[in-house]
């Protein structure tokens, strides 16, 4: 449970209808499995002690008494175990029968939560047997102990204070105002749903969306346990469609028509961080809820358990190709329409781009072409400027020329070697000293040329730098750092690559596609140092680290505010087959050092469109002081055990 992860599970036992002792034994077997796997929260289906499909047998005392007897056997069975269990059964109270979720932990019955919304339509006729539960909890005596009974009960873990559990039962989720809404506004971070949802054609898709979207709307974890094989098939078939969701993401789901035990880890800390940053998630207090406290006894004994949930190593890039293509089209539209508006507002008909033949300037040019097409402007108004110098290789030079030609722009070639050499003489810098002055002088000379050409053509200088470079400060201040509108300013390097790949795949001309593919295959480099044997000698990722790692770090730092130790743990899980722990640690340390020290560059960024949930604009997403200390974050890193 370190870093806020809580291992949870949903399970569908193979029951026999109305045979409570048999069902109780199956439930206990699954509890054992959960305990062995260090599961802390386990959810069973609705009415699973009896079976959901008992029909009028629910009116028989024999069934009701047997169900209660099995409940107490299960309660006793959990003594000494460290898993909280929610199990469904019918319970009588004040002459009425209720469809109830019993919450059990360590040999104690913590509470009984009745179903609030009783369906009585189509194939469902629960109102024939069950009454609707009251919101305000009352108490029922069980073994001479008062146990809360009502829909508004929250279960609070004392030694993991952010774990607060609310419960709803099947139909409760399908109504316009589910109980989980009030539960989460009262503080619940995890919702358990004990369900018996029958299968009809296409219903699984709706159910999947319902659970996914509810977890997103409520910024919570959601465990949905569904009845399955073993229920009566007189009229219905149940498929055991279990789901575990977290804030709009399905972490795990069972295969339908196979009674399964599924588990994953809910990141409670992530949920709390998300709620903290959302000004529209407004808690209303828990005055209308009874809060029952419990605690896990073995929480300090557990080692850092491996994560079974999938950790996406490219969080900025959709994993499914169909989604990726749709997202790439959407992102390129955001970029292009942002530039379109700026051109319309200024009344300018020209744009100026420094074209290096690398990834970033290629994407910026493609976006500018799209904006010009939207405005029905002649692409000849796009002035592409290639400015070869000491580090330019023939490969990038030729690619720049080819791109300008294929895209129909106006190409200007201006060598800056003579100007930079003269500048070195003026400031007394020796040509053979390949230091930061040697590199940055080239970058600033290029920016000066672009700005002056924009005056000549009455145009807009289009920035090409991406968000990954800005996060690392891998830009020359008042050099490539500066422009009049930065179309890539919130696009991370890993996404730049996929966007250019998308343009290559959708290119109508085969020759343009070939150039774009070669750009994709070229090592990322500022090309500020002389080449070796005609090849790029200065590879960015050798100097600052792999961009796929830095983009991963950037996402979890800015999107969720995680600690360095937690981000390290996630990165080790995501890149376990690609990078050793010490390599990840090295570049994570580099990231934090550069991220803090280079904020001054981000504090004066040109305008540019936000395309995703993470951005570094000083006007909105990242209002960070330029002189903030990184000491606390580096101290947390030093505590990490690399063994």
Judge whether 2-294 and 321-638 match in fold: no
Tell me the C-alpha distance between 94 and 111, whole Å: 17
Tell me the C-alpha distance between 268 and 302, whole Å: 17
The catalytically annotated residue of 170, 328, 369, 389 is: 170
Backbone phi and psi for residue 639, each to the nearest 5 degrees, phi listed first? -85, -10
Tell me the C-alpha distance between 413 and 371, whole Å: 23
Task: Look at the block and give the residue holding tokens 């600033």.
Answer: 444
**Would you call 209 exposed, middle or buried from its count of C-beta atoms within 10 A (0-12, 13-18, 19+)?**
exposed
Q: At what angle do helices 631-638 and 564-574 cross, to 10 degrees?
A: 50
158 in active site: no
The catalytically annotated residue of 7, 20, 40, 46 is: 46
**Predicted local distance difference test score (pLDDT) of residue 139:** 95
**Predicted local distance difference test score (pLDDT) of residue 29:** 98
Task: Look at the block and give the residue holding tokens 């050092």.
Answer: 593
328 in active site: no
Contacts 24+ apart (CB under 8 A), 97-102: 97/58, 97/59, 97/64, 97/129, 97/130, 97/131, 98/130, 98/131, 98/133, 99/46, 99/47, 99/126, 99/130, 99/169, 100/133, 100/149, 101/46, 101/167, 101/169, 101/192, 101/194, 102/71, 102/75
The catalytically annotated residue of 115, 212, 370, 601 is: 115
At a CB cut-off of 8 Å and minimum separation 6, what does 588 contact? 549, 553, 564, 567, 568, 571, 637
**Predicted local distance difference test score (pLDDT) of residue 302:** 53
Name the pTM for this structure.
0.93
Tell me the C-alpha distance between 313 and 582, whole Å: 17
Q: What is the mean pLDDT of each run of 10 residues along the chain (643 residues)?
A: 92 98 98 97 98 97 98 98 97 97 98 97 92 93 95 96 97 97 97 97 97 98 98 96 98 97 97 94 90 87 77 90 88 98 97 97 98 98 97 94 97 97 97 95 97 98 97 96 97 97 95 96 86 82 94 97 97 95 97 98 97 95 96 96 83
115 in active site: yes
Helix (H, G, I), strand (E, B) or coil at 608: coil
Pick the CATH number of 321-638 from 3.60.15.10, 3.90.1150.10, 3.80.30.20, 3.40.50.620: 3.40.50.620
Task: Look at the block and give the residue holding tokens 């709009």.
Answer: 248
Q: Looking at domain 2-294, which CATH architecture does it have?
A: 4-Layer Sandwich (3.60)
Q: Taking the domains of the chain in order of start, what are their residue ranges? A: 2-294, 321-638
């Amino acid at each position: 449970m370190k870093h806020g992860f809580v291992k949870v599970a949903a399970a569908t036992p193979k029951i026999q209808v109305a045979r409570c002792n048999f069902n109780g034994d199956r439930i206990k077997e699954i509890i054992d499995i959960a305990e062995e796997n260090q599961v802390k929260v386990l959810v069973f289906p609705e009415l699973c002690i009896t079976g959901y499909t008992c029909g009028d047998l629910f009116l028989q005392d024999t069934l009701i008494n047997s169900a209660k007897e099995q409940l107490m056997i299960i309660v006793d069975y959990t003594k000494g175990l460290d898993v909280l269990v929610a199990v469904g059964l019918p319970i009588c109270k004040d002459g009425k029968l209720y469809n109830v979720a019993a919450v059990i932990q360590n040999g104690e019955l913590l509470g009984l939560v009745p179903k609030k919304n009783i369906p009585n339509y189509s194939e469902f006729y629960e109102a024939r047997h069950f009454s609707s539960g009251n919101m305000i909890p009352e108490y029922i005596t069980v073994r001479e102990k008062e146990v809360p009974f009502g829909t508004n009960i929250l279960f609070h873990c004392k030694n993991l204070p952010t774990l607060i559990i609310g419960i709803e039962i099947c139909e409760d989720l399908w109504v316009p105002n589910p109980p989980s809404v009030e539960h989460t506004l009262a503080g619940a971070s995890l919702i358990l749903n004990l369900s018996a949802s029958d299968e009809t054609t296409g219903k699984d898709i709706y159910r999947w969306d319902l659970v996914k979207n509810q977890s997103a709307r409520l910024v919570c974890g959601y465990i949905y346990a569904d009845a399955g094989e073993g229920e009566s098939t007189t009229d219905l078939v149940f498929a055991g469609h279990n789901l575990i969701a977290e804030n709009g993401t399905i972490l795990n789901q069972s295969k339908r028509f196979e009674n399964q035990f599924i588990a994953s880890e809910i990141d409670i800390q992530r949920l709390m961080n998300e709620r903290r940053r959302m000004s529209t998630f407004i808690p209303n207090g828990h005055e209308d809820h009874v809060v029952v406290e419990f605690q896990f006894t073995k929480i300090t004994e557990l080692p850092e358990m491996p994560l079974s949930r999938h950790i996406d190593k490219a969080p900025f890039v959709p994993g499914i190709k169909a989604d990726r293509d749709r997202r790439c089209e959407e992102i390129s539209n955001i970029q292009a329409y942002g530039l379109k508006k700026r051109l319309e507002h200024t009344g300018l008909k020209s744009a100026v781009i420094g074209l290096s033949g690398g990834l970033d300037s290629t994407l910026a040019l493609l976006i500018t072409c799209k904006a010009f097409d939207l405005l029905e402007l002649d692409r000849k108004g796009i002035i592409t400027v290639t400015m070869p110098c000491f580090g330019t290789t023939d490969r990038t030079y030729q690619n720049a020329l080819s791109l300008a030609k294929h895209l129909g722009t106006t190409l200007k070639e201006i060598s800056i070697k003579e100007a930079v050499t003269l500048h070195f003489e003026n400031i007394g810098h020796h040509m053979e000293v390949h230091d930061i002055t040697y590199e940055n002088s080239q970058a600033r000379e290029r920016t000066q040329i672009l700005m002056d050409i924009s005056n000549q053509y009455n145009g807009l200088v289009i920035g090409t730098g991406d968000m990954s470079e800005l996060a690392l400060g891998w830009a020359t201040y008042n050099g490539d750092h500066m422009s009049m509108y930065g179309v890539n300013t919130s696009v991370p390097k890993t996404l730049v690559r996929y966007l250019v790949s998308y343009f290559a795949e959708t290119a109508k001309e085969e020759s343009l596609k070939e150039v774009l593919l070669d750009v994709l295959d070229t090592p990322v480099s500022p090309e500020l140092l002389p080449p070796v044997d005609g090849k790029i000698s200065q590879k960015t990722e050798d100097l600052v680290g792999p961009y796929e790692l830095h983009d991963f770090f950037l996402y979890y730092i800015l999107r969720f505010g995680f600690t360095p130790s937690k981000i390290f743990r996630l990165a080790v899980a995501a890149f376990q087959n690609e990078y050793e722990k010490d390599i990840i640690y090295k570049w994570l340390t580099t990231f934090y050092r550069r991220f803090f020290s280079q904020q001054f560059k981000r504090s004066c960024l040109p305008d540019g469109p936000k395309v995703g949930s993470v951005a570094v604009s000083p006007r909105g997403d990242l209002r960070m002081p330029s002189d903030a200390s990184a000491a606390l974050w580096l101290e947390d890193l030093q505590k990490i055990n690399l063994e």
